[in-house]
Structure 1
């Protein structure tokens, strides 16, 4: 089985301050994980649902108060 290639935004930087969300193409779904815990929990979303989540994030719907 091929290794899954996880990637992060190029805006995340590098080094100790580069913790972020990573994404991967997982057999028709989009995988999401925390870069601080790559062996931890992962979420797989259908592409359309992932796109809707990104749109909501861009609109600020998930911003912390």
Structure 2
């Protein structure tokens, strides 16, 4: 994952897509409340999670049980 960051502060804010939701007036992209990643990185992560290549055998047992 080359375009996944712990904070929106680690990237150029102009490169982040805007977002809004009902009851929240501010642009969500300026809220530093979580990680930010490109769609390509999210897809790569989910693919590895679904194929089992992301986790160890023990981790897969835990993941499949929840």
Q: When the two structures are superposed, what TM-score results if normalisation uses the length of structure 1?
A: 0.34
- Report which structure shows greater RCO (CA 8 Å, sep ≥6): 2
In our comparison, the structure showing a higher alpha carbon Rg is 2
TM-score after normalising by structure 2 = 0.34
More helix, by proportion: 2
